[in-house]
Chain A
């Protein structure tokens, strides 16, 4: 019985909480800009509103455009269920191998980029081109940052990694800090945040993520927006739990899980505040300077691997 509860939480936690953290980041950014800002629950209402709207689909769109939102959303649901959120006792979870995670993320990106191309607008095409350029260069940093951790834990399973790292002496944390910096760069890129992309932009010429989804409306737009929020929370959770895996429930009992959920939300709040502050305090980079940043992430991870081994 409690197994079912845990599984339900694991499966629904990411889609349930993701709009909230989006709202938090927006709120903090608004305060930095001297605005009151919308409520932190605004993203929920946006989704609700979008799900109730009729939609307009381009006559040029094929089934890829219609099908992609479902696939992208499903991939984030699966990702959310396969990473450590509040516990570390699912070790034989079959999808928690980090390469599987990386390639599932890539699968979503692949279809998002195709959907951007599908309607044949110039903006969508350029958005896809930019997105794929960044995604191609991020993959190295993404794989290697998690690889460094799996060498520490001698396992590629994310749950085993959290368990191994939580019992590590504090002295061994130098390489983990390096890897964490690399991971943050990867996270900002994958979730379309500054300095890679402006999630709030209204200028098509500088859009990356937003340009691809310009033609979506109604429930499909809701799905895509929700999936993007999920992806943001997935990366926040990875950052919070993989690198600072304290406070995860080690046993399957109700009290422990409730406490772990609280700690999880606190950790992710901290990290999303960090993202919001970062976003408010720096400018978007010129597109061709971004690869330098991504290669930096890769090289930092390689350095960390050498320190670990």
Chain B
């Protein structure tokens, strides 16, 4: 049955490793070191074999299906790994591999404080859950593994349970993810009702029978359900609190990979199964993409908790991915399949890129946090001198996420821009407007993201230390630096060889049956990447090459010509006073002008509390406190009214529950009568 060394073999081997990893860590829970090595070691092996499986599917086309039927009706453990699944398996395994190596060193500071067996148990289960989510092909089975993934990540979020905030964040995550799951269930039940099957393949074959209304409902429910997991605005409120709460290597996985399972299901359901028939689907997703990317980056600017800042950037990047995905759906409904394929390549490429640079940034943040024991950026500063490697890798991550050449973020944003530009050129005035808004949104998002990462990198690593916590910081252990270094290299390699990578991704896209026999939207002759309509050309290897050559020659020439000049080291110009850390710009101060400009959206508030020496003569201040806060618009205009509605509704139901036993008996009688009556007629 198993052909040794087939993709299938490697995939199941990976699951087996994870199962062993999970069970073993529980057994070794008493011994911290052993549990760490066992749990992470097996996760590393599992990710390695997962990558082999994915590469075999992507390159050799070894698709496989596997079904284990059960006695329960409709439940079949059915896996199908086509290229789309394999692509996501590859992303998950790649990030999981590096996160596990990172974890080996990172979780040492939990020794004797927390039960590492439990951490590793849930960690392995979480990885297995994600792998199964992107391969499951039966909706019942899918819901089970989806729930496994969500619950395992919930337990990872509340792992550091000495901090009450983490428990709170976990509860919010728990509630939100289950609201999402409820919507997903509704979507699947509707599909089951219309086609009589839970198997994705059967649903796909019978998609013609599904009435339009049901399709639209499925779209809305799936959008809310999977969108909650992906963190689209306004269903994102769990994300900025849950991602930072988890241990760092788990945050990297949650932000880099887990939220992408939502994107995976969007593609699976909307593009493949329902094959995106309606124009307004794509328009809706595009609009959500605009809001998510712009609001995500604006809220990120307001943050000074480094992990929350990164979490908000995940929302922004999900928005950018959705811009690509939304254009895909619009182009499919307009029957422009070549362009649709191009947009999907952009979306998938950005998914891959975001996974790499976001994992890198989270790991960099974790490395800083493990040395300074605080997430507050205002207490950092000058870390580049204490942790040079971490600083360098974080800088590369910042450049990549700001879409600066020659790193990978640049290419996928370039490609997303191109798909939006081609959207602007199509005829209908309404869709044209949406595309222009989307391109404008993306332009401003890119600019704001750059500003945000100047802030994040500058305040964390540059200038002088702002608190004593920095002074004891040392460079992190080898395993942490190794993971970050590898990811930094990957961001550069993906950026330089973007043409080749997009060819592979195009293979993934053409594997979907919507896009079979669609001509390619781009060519990669040599080092350049050319859109087939001749609109745009880019050559990332040449950018890198020319940049390196010019930079080196400028550096060399200036060095040689000015060899004789002396360099004197002195203090920063201090206007005659002694410079104190308080004189440096803070993260809050840096972003304040942008916040003021966008005050219509962010609604900043400023509260001044002054305490006087004497309550009667209010001349001499003892202390004054300024509180700068940001009001959450979506909380005020979306969640608060929703909550009020719920409370009102609950108040109404209170009327029928007056606590009198006789009344309840009467209710039972009434219901019984009602049921009898319905049976009679």
A and B co-occur in one complex: yes
A125 & B554 in contact (Cβ 8 Å cutoff): no
A147 & B421 in contact (Cβ 8 Å cutoff): yes
Q: Please encode chain B, from 544 to 562, with 1 for each CB lying within 8 Å of some chain A CB and 0 for all others.
A: 0011001100110010011
Interface pick from B168-176, B346-354, B451-459: B451-459
Interface pick from A20-28, A70-78, A238-246, A277-285: A70-78
Q: Looking at the complex, which one of B447, B542, B547 makes contact with A137 (CB distance below 8 Å)?
A: B447
B436 & A128 in contact (Cβ 8 Å cutoff): no
Residue of A110, A136, A143, A223 ringed by the most chain B CB atoms within 10 A: A136
Q: Looking at the complex, which one of B451, B538, B568 makes contact with A55 (CB distance below 8 Å)?
A: B568
B440 & A129 in contact (Cβ 8 Å cutoff): no
Q: Please encode chain B, from 424 to 462, with 1 for each CB lying within 8 Å of some chain A CB and 0 for all others.
A: 110000001000100110011011101101110111011
B512 to A: closest C-beta gap in Å: 28
Asked whether any CB of chain B lies closer than 8 Å to the CB of A287, the reply is: yes
Q: List A contacts of B448 (CB < 8 A).
A: 136
Q: List B contacts of A218 (CB < 8 A).
A: 562, 565, 567
Nearest to A119 among chain B residues (CB) is: B572
A128 & B590 in contact (Cβ 8 Å cutoff): yes
**Within the assembled complex, what's the spacing in Å between the Cα atoms of A34 and B359?**
59
A120 & B444 in contact (Cβ 8 Å cutoff): no
- 281-311 of chain B: CB within 8 A of chain A: none
A113 & B454 in contact (Cβ 8 Å cutoff): yes
Q: Please encode chain A, from 58 to 85, with 1 for each CB lying within 8 Å of some chain B CB and 0 for all others.
A: 1110111000001101110110000000
B463 & A60 in contact (Cβ 8 Å cutoff): yes
Q: Please encode chain B, from 471 to 515, with 1 for each CB lying within 8 Å of some chain A CB and 0 for all others.
A: 000000000000000000000000000000000000000000000
If A106-B450, A147-B439 touch, whether A133 touches B585 (CB-CB below 8 Å) is: no
Q: Please encode chain A, from 132 to 175, with 1 for each CB lying within 8 Å of some chain B CB and 0 for all others.
A: 11011111100110010011001111000000000000000000
Asked whether any CB of chain A lies closer than 8 Å to the CB of B405, the reply is: yes
Q: Looking at the complex, which one of A52, A223, A287 makes contact with B593 (CB distance below 8 Å)?
A: A287
Q: Please encode chain B, from 395 to 420, with 1 for each CB lying within 8 Å of some chain A CB and 0 for all others.
A: 10001001111000010001001000
Asked whether any CB of chain A lies closer than 8 Å to the CB of B569, the reply is: yes
B171 to A: closest C-beta gap in Å: 35
Q: Please encode chain A, from 79 to 114, with 1 for each CB lying within 8 Å of some chain B CB and 0 for all others.
A: 000000000000010110101100110110110011
**Within the assembled complex, what's the spacing in Å between the Cα atoms of A117 and B585?**
8
Asked whether any CB of chain B lies closer than 8 Å to the CB of A197, the reply is: no
Q: Please encode chain B, from 369 to 390, with 1 for each CB lying within 8 Å of some chain A CB and 0 for all others.
A: 0000000000001101100000
Do most interface residues of chain B lie in helix, strand or loop, or is the interface mixed? helix
A74 & B537 in contact (Cβ 8 Å cutoff): no
Interface size class of B (residues with CB under 8 A): 35 or more
A56 & B570 in contact (Cβ 8 Å cutoff): yes
**Within the assembled complex, what's the spacing in Å between the Cα atoms of A110 and B486?**
24
Q: Please encode chain A, from 201 to 236, with 1 for each CB lying within 8 Å of some chain B CB and 0 for all others.
A: 000000000000011001100010000000000000
Q: List B contacts of A140 (CB < 8 A).
A: 440, 443-444, 447
B599 to A: closest C-beta gap in Å: 10
Q: Looking at the complex, which one of A137, A215, A219 makes contact with B573 (CB distance below 8 Å)?
A: A215
A133 & B464 in contact (Cβ 8 Å cutoff): no
**Within the assembled complex, what's the spacing in Å between the Cα atoms of A107 and B400?**
11
Asked whether any CB of chain B lies closer than 8 Å to the CB of A302, the reply is: yes
A110 & B404 in contact (Cβ 8 Å cutoff): yes
A120 & B568 in contact (Cβ 8 Å cutoff): no
**Within the assembled complex, what's the spacing in Å between the Cα atoms of A132 and B574?**
24
B550 & A137 in contact (Cβ 8 Å cutoff): no
Asked whether any CB of chain A lies closer than 8 Å to the CB of B676, the reply is: no
B463 & A118 in contact (Cβ 8 Å cutoff): yes
B594 & A133 in contact (Cβ 8 Å cutoff): yes
Nearest to B436 among chain A residues (CB) is: A302
Residue of B436, B546, B593 ringed by the most chain A CB atoms within 10 A: B593
**Within the assembled complex, what's the spacing in Å between the Cα atoms of A75 and B403?**
16
B593 & A133 in contact (Cβ 8 Å cutoff): yes
Asked whether any CB of chain B lies closer than 8 Å to the CB of A258, the reply is: no
B295 to A: closest C-beta gap in Å: 15
Nearest to A113 among chain B residues (CB) is: B454
Interface pick from B24-32, B46-54, B528-536: B528-536
**Within the assembled complex, what's the spacing in Å between the Cα atoms of A214 and B575?**
12
A122 & B583 in contact (Cβ 8 Å cutoff): yes
Asked whether any CB of chain B lies closer than 8 Å to the CB of A298, the reply is: yes
B463 & A120 in contact (Cβ 8 Å cutoff): yes
Asked whether any CB of chain A lies closer than 8 Å to the CB of B571, the reply is: yes
Q: Looking at the complex, which one of B405, B424, B443 makes contact with A143 (CB distance below 8 Å)?
A: B443
Which residues of B does A touch, CB under 8 Å?
A: 381-382, 384-385, 391, 395, 399, 402-405, 410, 414, 417, 421, 424-425, 432, 436, 439-440, 443-444, 446-448, 450-451, 453-455, 457-459, 461-464, 527-528, 534-539, 542-543, 546-547, 550-551, 554-555, 558, 561-562, 565-574, 579, 583-585, 589-594, 596-597
Top 6 A-B residue pairs of the complex, sorted by shortest distance between their CB atoms: A125-B585, A120-B463, A139-B447, A136-B447, A117-B458, A132-B451
**Other A-B pairs beyond A78-B546, A94-B539, A132-B590, 18, CB < 8 Å:** A55-B566, A55-B567, A60-B571, A94-B527, A95-B543, A103-B404, A103-B446, A114-B458, A114-B462, A120-B464, A120-B572, A128-B454, A129-B585, A138-B447, A139-B444, A150-B421, A156-B421, A218-B565
A-B contact pairs, 23 of them (CB 8 A): A53-B565, A55-B566, A60-B464, A62-B391, A63-B384, A95-B539, A103-B414, A113-B458, A117-B585, A120-B572, A121-B584, A122-B585, A129-B585, A130-B593, A132-B594, A139-B444, A140-B440, A140-B443, A151-B424, A155-B535, A155-B536, A215-B573, A288-B597
